[in-house]
Amino acid sequence: MRKILLLLAALFVGFLIAAEGRYAVMRVSDIAVLPPDALPQRAVWGVLTPKQERFWPALLASKKDYEGLIENYYPAEVKLKLRGWGRFRLAVQPLVPSFKVFWGGRYWYLSGEGKLWLSSLEYNSMLDEHDAESKPVLTWGTDRATPIDMAEVKGNILSSSIPIKLIKSWYSMAEELGWGKSVKFIQAGVKEGAPIVRVIFYTAGNKNGAQLLLPNEAEKWAETGLAVRKLYGGIANLPPDVYIDGTYKGKILIRNLGAEKKEPAKPEVAQENKNNVKRRN
């Protein structure tokens, strides 16, 4: 009985091989993209290996590798599913840029899942509408940890180590303090070995204006925000050349960068809260 079963199995395999050679019955016959035209055909079919294309079970068995190859080059998440003999469905969900980032001399998009890719990438035409362009640009300083592992770069879409939850807290706090529409850049940097955030505001002519240096933790910004309100009546009244350092405990340092360019700085202490304010005019 066992020999008969082995013989039948061998005959069946031989039949499949013969049928495949003549009729290509085991080939991938269709990969339907949803939504239609979400990806170019070269992305859908160009990453198939000859084995996967000739023998559809091989594609099914290695679908994670297939999905990964597409996701390495196109700003999207994809899911491949079998929908019949040799027929597949490829669901495409474009990534959503949450922030526009300036790093390494180039502009990037950063998604809420931590994916990073060039804002000039030709395939960005597949993206849905997003609000990253309307938000302040996040500048990631060279003194901060490199946001990607260069050894893991496999294509256009990179996995970033930028702390998304922390970044979101900076933007949320800027809105909460009423700064949102006035901010041009939010810069992540380092001061004396400690991580800090520099907030740069707009001025007329779209040039860099007033600057606030703040702690890395957004919940500590309110104290500086209150001091600015007491001294200037609000962000809108800040002089374009003012630099306010709110990273000190119990005090802030105010400098007039425009005046410092013209003459040596003369420190002066003013008694205002955030408990102490040091002015340099």
60 with 154, same domain?
A: no
Q: Does a structural domain hold residue 12?
A: no
Q: Is the pLDDT of residue 172 over 80?
A: yes
Task: Using pLDDT thresholds of 50, 70 and 90, give the confidence band for residue 269.
Answer: very low
Residue finishing a domain among 93, 121, 150: 93
- Indicate if the pLDDT at residue 204 is higher than 50: yes
pLDDT computed for residue 1 by the predictor:
62
In a domain, 14, yes or no: no
Domain-embedded: residue 265:
yes
**pLDDT at position 281:** 52
Q: How far is CA 78 from the centre of its chain?
A: 18
pLDDT at 272: 43
203 compared with 135, residue with greater pLDDT: 135
Q: Is residue 178 part of a domain?
A: yes
Residue at a domain's end among 93, 119, 135: 93
The strands making up 97-103's β-sheet, listed across from edge to edge, are 158-159, 115-118, 106-111, 97-103, 137-140, 183-191, 194-202, 208-215, 242-245, 251-256, 276-280, 267-270
- Let me know whether 55 and 29 are in one domain: yes
Among candidate residues 67, 93, 119, the one where a domain is terminated: 93
* Total number of domains in the chain: 2
Show the domain range for 237: 97-280
Residue 147 domain-assigned (yes or no): yes
Structure confidence by residue, pLDDT tens digits, 55-83:
999 999 999 999 999 999 999 999 999 99
- What backbone phi and psi angles, to 5 degrees, belong to 206? 60, 30
Are residues 150 and 38 located together in one domain of the fold?
Answer: no
Could you tell me if 173 and 125 are in contact, meaning their C-beta atoms sit under 8 angstroms apart?
no
Q: 7 lies in a domain?
A: no
Residue 10 belongs to a domain:
no
**pLDDT value, residue 147:** 93
Of 146-150, 176-180, 265-269, least confident by mean pLDDT is 265-269
pLDDT at residue 60, as a whole number:
97
Looking at the fold, whether 202 and 252 belong to one and the same domain comes out as yes
Reported as a pLDDT band with limits 50, 70 and 90, residue 263 is low
Mean pLDDT of 32-54: 94
- Two structure tokens written together for 92: 């495409």
- Model pLDDT for residues 123-146, shown as the tens digit of each residue: 999 999 999 999 999 999 999 999
In this structure, the answer to whether residues 127 and 259 fall within a common structural domain is yes
Q: Please check whether residues 125 and 259 belong to one and the same domain.
A: yes
The vertex-222 CA angle with 219 and 226, nearest 5°, equals 170
**Contact between 170 and 137 (Cβ < 8 Å):** no
- Of 103, 108, 98, 102, nearest to 167 (Cα)? 98
Same-domain check for residues 197 and 273: yes
**Has residue 246 been placed in a domain?**
yes
Residue 203: phi and psi, rounded to 5, are -135, 175
